[in-house]
Each structure stands twice: as structure tokens, then as C-alpha cells.
Amino acid sequence: MSSAVRVRFCPSPTGDPHVGMLRTALFNWAYARHTGGTFVFRIEDTDAARDSEGSYEALLHSLRWLGLDWDEGPEVGGEYGPYRQSERGDIYQEVIAKLTGGGYTYRCFCTADELTERRELARKEGRESGYDGKCRDLTDVQIEQFQEQGRTSVTRFRMPDQDWVWEDLVRGEVSFGSAFVPDFVLVRANGDPLYTLVNPTDDALMGITHVLRGEDLLSSTPRQLALHQALIELGIGSGVMPKFAHLPYVMGEGNKKLSKRDPEASFSHYERLGFLPEGLVNYLALLGWSLGGDVEFFSLEQLAEAFDVSRVNPNPARFDIKKCTAINGDWIRALEPNDLAERIVPYLVTDGTLPAGPTQEQLTLLREAVPHISTRMEVLSQAPGMVGFLYAGEPGSKPFELDEADAQKLLNEAGLEVLAAARAALDGLSEWTTTSIEEALRQSLIEERGLKPRLAFGPVRVAITGRRVSPPLFESMELLGRERSLERLDSAAR
């Protein structure tokens, strides 16, 4: 196997994909693309009780949505498949047999109660409380006795007696003393292999050269180094000891680790709110990395071109939802208006602002409206609230309604007088353009009646758009058209 970079993203399909996990996917993808290497996507679904097909689908969807294509993995295949661990059972059995044959494992008959008891005693006596190696050297007779007692056994890995040191690509030298890495379980009593076995085994079999993953897995690395060493000695896999890079924690509010349960941690939250893939991916990259200088706005292509794992910052990164949203707003404004319009459509359909198959006319109107709303938007789901008034009352759309509180506040006696004056001023307009509407209203309401702009245009805005906050008024009236604008002034005056 060549020395080309092979990285992997290997989540377990439980629950909704979360942003910390997607940051890991992104950095692996970027490293593969930067180095011309291979991005492997593997599904670690060995826990039937917790894994779900829905979560598996959501993982694939989230990666595709973000634009992170994989070179090997589910639905794509590859030389080292299958890429779902649930389909690799036979491979693991073979590896276990070889490890056992080579003397790298032993059967451990200790019961849960015995383990707890000894752990507590060790703690009391101030000793390391990990597994004490009690079953390391059982004789055949002892094994037979345990079996006669009806005990079941797990398979433990026999840790070599050495300290564990590696040059982490993010954290520099990391070391664990031998006493802190006790013998660990590879296979459950029922024969199910555990993460401790299957993760490094697959990394070895799939020729993974670099393991970029969350810092929460740091303490599992010595065990994985030891297993890799054993696999190399047994001639299993690529023979390459992968390099490790532990990516910084992602902290949420109050400097606590972003929890899976936090709704803002889940991918679906961002999709629902109408983040752009460009915006979310841009922000995720800033969780521990930056393009250099003060540049915080960049594309996936720029990230791939510049990404270097050695420049990942080891300090915890804070997930700042305000900043994430602001960057998304910048991306919204960076899009071509027609592209933006197209991306807004599904949000208008979901909201009931547009029917499922909008007409060409409705789409043209949206394209015309987009330049007036993009400056005020940070997420796409804000669009229905901004352009809903243009479609309200049309077949397949919601009826037009005035916001109750806004109407109460602005369509009082004085407001209704303003509407009547506006109606009169607009009635005879020869052309219906933003400029002519503005001129007519300013002339009548501000110059002739001496009103302050807020008092003059506020009631008109509520009558036309239904709310106090809307896209610019005169442009909105031009877009809505003469007939419907006058109708709305009339009906608000009633």
C-alpha cells in the first residue's frame, strides 16, 4: 500500500448527527482533499440496541448536504468494504482468533460485582483502579472450574508493560504511563466485539494513515496503539501505525462541553432554520482552525486548499451561535440572487406561502424580491415572514392577515387617516414604480400633512405587508402591484 493519506470518518449511527461530529468529518475531508488522499466513511454500527437506520440515513444526508463527498463508504463502495461494521462480523471473528492464537488475549471470568468490589478497594488504598489482571494467567484447571461454576468470560487484551507516547499532530507529545492503561475488554461474553477491537482493526484493515477525531477519545489512544502494534506483528492489515490528531472540544453555552441533548448541537436544527451548507461548513471549520490572518469567510474549496492538521488549535473551541448565524448571513448575501431565490422556495412551500408547484410568475416575483430581503436575512426560514405578503390571498397560499398587535398599534384613528390620504395620493398615479409611489406618498403625507416618516409610512406598511417590519415599503408596493396595493389600503381602512 502506498503512503498516500487515508483518513476516515466513522460515527456510530445513534441519534441526530451533531455539530462536533460534523466538524470531525469536515477536517478529515479537508485533510484528504488537501493532500490528494482518500476520505473513507465507515459506519460503526456494532451496537444494535442503540443504532438506528434513521440515524444512518441522517448521517449520509448531513455529509451530502454539507458537500463532503466520500471516496469509499456506504453507497459508494470501495476496495476495503463493507463499510458498515454490522456487515463485518466474520472479519472480526477471524481477527479475534488470530489475536488469541498469538497470545495477545485472555479469557476473563471476573463478574461485574467482583470487578466493582476490587475497584473500590483499590481506590480506598490509593492504587490505580483499572482492571488488575487477575485472569491474566489462569491455568486450564482454573478455567475449567470457572466454567463449571457457570461463569461466562469476556476476551481481554493483554497490554504490554510499557509507557505509551505518541506525537499527536495537534497536541504534540502525549504520554500515558503503563499503570494507567490496564488490560481491556475486546469481546463481550456473548461474542460481540466491542469498539475497542473493531475501530483499530478496521483502521488497520482499511489502511488508515491518519486518525483525526475528537479529544474525548484521547484516553483510548494508548489501547489502540497497543492493538495496532499487535496487528502489525501478526501481519494483519496495512502494517502502518496511524498518526493521531485529537481535535479540540467544542464548548457550548457557559463553557460547558456542547452536549448531544442541546438542540443547537444537532444538524437538523440548522437545516430546519435554513442555514446554507456554505455557511454552516464555513463556521464549523472555524471550530479549531482558521484560514490565517483575520479571514473568517471562506469556501469549502478554499478550506481544502489551505487545510493543514498541524495548524489546528488544541484549545477548546466555543460554538458561538451568533457568529455562526452572522457568517450564514454573509453567505446569503454572497449568493447570486437567482440562486438564493431557488434555495428559498422550499422554505416558502413548507410554510404554506407558496403551493408545492409554484407558477413561473410566482418565481419571477420572488427573484425580484430577493435583492430587497437578502440584506435583512440571516437564515432562509426568515424568508416566508418577509415575502409572504406578496403571495397571500393567492390560490394555494395563505390568506392575507394583518398582524394583530401591529394593526392595533398603528391602525388607530390617526393611522386610518393616513391610509385614506395615501389612497387618494396613489389613486391617480400614471405609473406604478418605486419612485413614483415614494414621491406621491412623501408629497401627500410628509410635505402636505407635515407627518414624521414613521407616522406616515408605518400605517401604510402594516396595511400593505401586514406587519411593522418588512422589506422596504415602496419597493414592496411596486412588487405587489397597483391593484393589490390599493385593495389592501382599502381593506385595512375598513
Under the rule (CB under 6 A), what is the footprint of ligand GLU?
10-12, 44, 199, 213, 217
CA dihedral defined by 262, 267, 270, 273, rounded to 10 degrees?
A: -80
Cα 187 to the chain's mean position, in Å? Answer: 32
What is the CB neighbour count within 10 angstroms for residue 298? 19
Q: Decide: residue 487, CB within 10 A, 0-12 exposed, 13-18 middle, 19+ buried.
A: middle
Between 12 and 465, whose beta carbon lies closer to ligand GLU? 12
Please, are residues 282 and 331 in contact by the beta-carbon 8 Å criterion? yes
Residue 31: strand, helix, or coil: helix
Q: Considering 134, 256, 260, 323, which one is annotated as catalytic?
A: 260
Distance CA 210, CA 243 (A): 5
Between 107 and 213, whose beta carbon lies closer to ligand GLU? 213
Residue 21: CB minimum distance to ligand GLU, A = 7
98 catalytic per annotation? no
Beta strands in 43-136, from DSSP E residues, in sequence order: 105-108
Residues in the chain: 494
Between 247 and 392, whose beta carbon lies closer to ligand GLU? 247
Distance CA 418, CA 492 (A): 11
Going from the C-alpha of 225 to that of each of 170, 180, 204, 334, the distances in angstroms are 17, 14, 11, 46
Please give the angle made by the CA atoms of 172, 177 and 178, to the nearest 5 degrees: 130
Distance CA 177, CA 235 (A): 27
Between 250 and 489, whose beta carbon lies closer to ligand GLU? 250
Distance CA 144, CA 401 (A): 81
Residue 231: CB minimum distance to ligand GLU, A = 15
Looking at the annotation, which residues are catalytic? Answer: 260
